[in-house]
Structure 1
Amino acid sequence: MKTILITGASSGIGYQTAELLAKAGNQVFGAARHVNAMDPLKKLGVIPIVMDVTSESSIKNGLQAIIQKAGKIDILINGAGYGSFGAIENVTIAEAKRQFDVNVFGLTALTKLVLPYMKKTTFW
């Protein structure tokens, strides 16, 4: 059994991945800003974690909760993200920055904070 953290677990690919991995017998922590959407996953054993990947304090609090409960993280699946669609002249710079904060910088920050825990329990 692996301990797995999945971001973006409240919908889409993150939700479906959490469902699949929980059914396979893994300990799955599903992270999202709105955990109420994960209520059906709780029946499969997925543990909801409130996490906003654009907030360092939110990431740290979520990781602390996982480590307190499981003591480790074996696998990180960065499923959080979204697309902002439209012609470039119609997308504001603020919206473009927000998308990069979620899709790139937030997931990079989370990965950097998770790696030390993964190194303790894996082949590193």
Structure 2
Amino acid sequence: MPPRRRVPVPAGREAVGVWRSEGTSTARADLATAVRYTLEELASVAPGRSVEVRVPPFGAVQCVEGTTHTRGTPPNVVETDAQTWLEVATGTLAWDAAWESGRLRVSGHRADLGPLMPLA
């Protein structure tokens, strides 16, 4: 079952467009909407609960089919900042390049989301 959308698709696409044109000077509200929208896109493309993707302070989502966790820190986690997440999600930055540069903090054998990127 796909996750329930909290960011309407048109609003999410618009926020991603604003981020693409403004980059690091994007208003916080637009940045938050773009991050939440792309996290929801990831959960739609790869439903499941075996990997948790965190983009503090804007959001987190569980995705990818497989073994699920119910308590404590999940075994498969991806964490990054908003700019890096949007760069990877939109294809501006390759997953492997972000991972190798240390801009993505990745743990667990299922946490390689490279084949799912870019999303938008």
Higher share in helix? 1
Rg bigger for which structure? 1
Report 1 or 2 for greater relative contact order, CA contacts < 8 Å, sequence distance ≥ 6: 1
Q: Same fold (TM over 0.5)?
A: no
TM-score (normalizing by structure 1): 0.31
